[in-house]
Amino acid sequence: MSANFTALAYLVSAILFVLALRGLSSPDSSRRGNIMGMAGMAIAIIVTILRPDVLSYEWIIGGIVVGGAIGAVIAQRIAMTAMPQLVAAFHSLVGLAAVLVAAAAFYNPDAYGILGANGELTVLSRVEMSIGIVVGAITFSGSIIAFTKLQGLVSGNPVIFPGQHFVNLLIGLAIVALIIWFCLDLDPTIFWAMTILAFVIGFLIIIPIGGADMPVVVSMLNSYSGWAAAGIGFTLENTALIIVGALVGSSGAILSYIMCKAMNRSFFSVILGGFGGDTAAAGPDKGDRPYKAGSADDAAFIMKNAGKVIIVPGYGLAVAQAQHALREMVDALKEEGVEVVYAIHPVAGRMPGHMNVLLAEAQVPYDEVFELEEINSDFSGADVALVVGANDVTNPAARDDPSSPIYGMPILDVDKARTVLFVKRSMSSGYAGIDNDLFYKDNTMMLLADAKKMVEDIIKAL
Amino acid sequence: MDMVDPTVFRLAIFVLAIFVGYYVVWSVTPALHTPLMAVTNAISSVIIVGALIAAGPAEVNLAKIFGFIAIVLASVNIFGGFLVTQRMLSMYKKKQK
């Protein structure tokens, strides 16, 4: 196998990966796209194994079989509601793999043919290697923290301590200094010190970020895993890795941008953290404002007699695992001749597209599910807006009250529907700790219960 | 004029690939953003090619051990990522009429 053949095969892989992403422009073409992605991966692995410098296969095959079996079992068993933490866990593996590959290249650069004329790693290689390993290490430890927060192993609340940004800055500068030192001196101690500091900084930059900002964090770590792969690609002079790294890096960056825009926050303010705990901060006493509470029977009666119902799902739907019950309820309503559609805010849930996957799992046809821009003008013509486990993304203060912390965030205009039914566990405010005026409006009825239980009760009442 | 360093070519590939990624990802429908993350995660595990080269030599050394662990981790991701994406995508159905 000549080097040229291998490089051309990598090009074919890269094209297949681009087509895999292109396929995701519609659900119909996406399945074929995914198959192309698998084919691209198979080609990249096979031509690499066929390289003349790959001589022993036992470890390789053993590793692929063990890892592949674990991956396949996880993919089959994982609940769709757990998708955000699964993706975070997978990102951490890419990050750690990048660190390990960089370490392998450091200890055996000859195998990759990347030694300079003097028999040492060139300065350029050292810089590329350092960038790959630092970004990889940050991806690893950052994703581990994101995983533990999403899985509920630690509290989703931001962890803040005095001088946090100063400490981060110092560590960042120390890493830069170590990279420069590494360019002058190929000492393994410097290599590992740099790696360990990068692990620490990855940990520190994610702990202050609260649960509800996780869509941005998960997207950002997605992007980092791509840049780490690209960095390693430059070190190993491997075009497949460089191209894939660029694709994944820009993909994650675009998703982060979309998520930030949907929250009207700058990327920088999310990264600085401190916003968005799972539980609301203890604000001024809001308990004395009157609101209208309703029962499942009331809700069933109102919806049965409605012409058009728009359902707005949020993170509460995922927590309560209410997606299947919700669809049964919608089926029952449709039998009564009610038109029902779903409206999804870009940051509903804990990762981009989270709600769409849950509804798809409950066999909701995707052409009944609409994005914010597509459906927002329809609320004024709807008889009922049923909000299930969402809060801030419906808060009219974001539209009307310039003093509100979430002012400017695009929201779903549920308040324009004739009646608003709000399924919620309690009267507490959302993650932003802001009271929602919608709760106290005359046309709003609060259905205070666990989302799944409430929806099941409504089905019974229908 | 002297020869262009191959790294410059690689940089050109990198920059052009960012543009390709940028335009392709903007065309992804928001409903499929979760599968997008799962599949980008799977393809970024193409880092396994670096691990394969490290694990390839006949003699056992530190690099080979690192390479082996990286193969296991990347394989979890490749199989897990593509299969879970397939599982998600198979759930997206149109209205039956």
Asked if A122 reaches chain B (Cβ–Cβ under 8 Å), the answer is no
Q: Are residues A115 and A101 in the same domain?
A: yes
Whether A383 is catalytic: no
User: What angle is formed at CA A29 by the lines to CA A26 and CA A31, rounded to 5 degrees?
Assistant: 110
Local structure of residue A211 (DSSP, 8 states): G
The answer to whether residue A287 sits within a structural domain is no
- The interface pTM score, or ipTM, of the predicted complex is 0.95
Distance from CA of A443 to the nearest CA of B (A): 30
Q: Which has the higher per-residue pLDDT, B4 or B1?
A: B4
Which of A225, A255, A271 is the last residue before a domain boundary?
A271
d(CA A197, CA A133): 11
Q: Which residues on chain A are in Cβ contact (under 8 Å) with B23?
A: none
Is residue A201 a contact partner of residue A133, using CB atoms and an 8 Å limit?
no
Asked if B12 reaches chain A (Cβ–Cβ under 8 Å), the answer is no
What are A386's two structure tokens? 């049923």
β-pairing, A369-371 vs A384-388, is unpaired
Query: Per-residue pLDDT averaged across B24-49, rounded?
Result: 94
Contact B55 A63 (CB under 8 A): yes
- Across the interface, of B17, B21, B67, the residue whose CB is closest to A104 is B67
Q: Are residues A131 and A247 in the same domain?
A: yes
Q: Are residues A110 and A176 in the same domain?
A: yes
Beta bridge partners of A386: A311, A421
Distance from CA of B44 to the nearest CA of A (A): 6
Which stretch of DSSP H or E encloses residue A301? helix A296-304
Local structure of residue B30 (DSSP, 8 states): G
Size of interface A-B (CB pairs under 8 A): 380
User: What angle is formed at CA A346 by the lines to CA A458 and CA A258, rounded to 5 degrees?
Assistant: 175
Q: Are residues A260 and A358 in the same domain?
A: no
DSSP-derived 3-state class of residue A122: coil
What are A114's two structure tokens? 């990347």
Which tens digit of pLDDT belongs to each residue from B55-87? 988 888 999 999 999 999 999 999 999 999 999
Is residue A385 a contact partner of residue A379, using CB atoms and an 8 Å limit?
yes
pLDDT of residue A431: 60
**Closest CA relative to residue A306, chosen from A372, A366, A386, A390:** A386
Q: Which residues on chain B are in Cβ contact (under 8 Å) with A80?
A: 88, 91
Beta bridge partners of A312: A387
Phi-psi region of A286 (alpha: psi -120 to 50; beta: other; left: phi over 0): alpha
d(CA A104, CA A110): 10
**Closest CA relative to residue B18, chosen from A353, A223, A26, A32:** A223
Q: Are residues A27 and A123 in the same domain?
A: no
d(CA A182, CA A194): 9
* Sequence-separated (6 or more) residues with CB below 8 Å from residue A402: none
State the total domains in chain A.
Answer: 3
Q: Are residues A71 and A96 in the same domain?
A: no
Q: Which residues on chain B are in Cβ contact (under 8 Å) with A315?
A: none
Contact A71 B83 (CB under 8 A): yes
Which of A59, A77, A95 is the last residue before a domain boundary?
A77
Local structure of residue A121 (DSSP, 8 states): B
| Regions of chain A with pLDDT less than 50 | 277-286
Q: Which residues on chain A are in Cβ contact (under 8 Å) with B92?
A: 27, 30, 360, 366
The answer to whether residue A280 sits within a structural domain is no
The answer to whether residue A407 sits within a structural domain is yes
Annotate A332-356 with b (16+ C-beta within 10 A) or e (fewer).
bbeeeebebbbbbbbbbbbbbbbbb
Q: Are residues A221 and A350 in the same domain?
A: no
Asked if A17 reaches chain B (Cβ–Cβ under 8 Å), the answer is yes
Q: Are residues A69 and A110 in the same domain?
A: no
Is residue A235 a contact partner of residue A105, using CB atoms and an 8 Å limit?
yes
Which of A62, A77, A92 is the last residue before a domain boundary?
A77
Res. B96 pLDDT band, cuts 50 70 90? low
DSSP codes, A316-377: HHHHHT-HHHHHHHHHHHHHTT-EEEEEE-TTSSSSTTHHHHHHHHTT--GGGEEEHHHHGG
Q: Which domain holds residue A106?
A: 80-271
Which residues of chain A from 253 to 272 reach within 8 Å of chain B, CB to CB? 254-255, 258
d(CA A368, CA A393): 20
Q: Which residues on chain B are in Cβ contact (under 8 Å) with A228?
A: 47
The answer to whether residue A278 sits within a structural domain is no
Asked if A95 reaches chain B (Cβ–Cβ under 8 Å), the answer is no
The answer to whether residue A284 sits within a structural domain is no
Q: Are residues A114 and A56 in the same domain?
A: no
Residue B9 has a CB neighbour count (10 Å cut-off) of 11
Given the residues A28, A331, A378, A392, select the one marked as catalytic.
Answer: A392
Asked if A1 reaches chain B (Cβ–Cβ under 8 Å), the answer is no
Mutate to test the interface with B, among A124, A232, A250, A339 (most CBs of B within 10 A): A250
d(CA A220, CA A253): 6
d(CA A277, CA A155): 8
pLDDT of residue A215: 85
State which residue of chain B sits closest to A99, comparing Cα positions.
B70
The answer to whether residue A277 sits within a structural domain is no
**Closest CA relative to residue A81, chosen from A354, A425, A446:** A354
The answer to whether residue A289 sits within a structural domain is no
pLDDT of residue B59: 86
Is residue A264 a contact partner of residue A410, using CB atoms and an 8 Å limit?
yes
Is residue A257 a contact partner of residue A267, using CB atoms and an 8 Å limit?
yes
Phi-psi region of A371 (alpha: psi -120 to 50; beta: other; left: phi over 0): beta
Q: Are residues A93 and A72 in the same domain?
A: no
pLDDT of residue A429: 64
Distance from CA of B64 to the nearest CA of A (A): 7
Dihedral angle of Cα A10, A13, A15, A17, to the nearest 10 degrees: -130
Asked if B3 reaches chain A (Cβ–Cβ under 8 Å), the answer is no
Q: Are residues A51 and A133 in the same domain?
A: no
Is residue A124 a contact partner of residue A246, using CB atoms and an 8 Å limit?
no
The answer to whether residue A350 sits within a structural domain is yes
Q: Are residues A220 and A310 in the same domain?
A: no
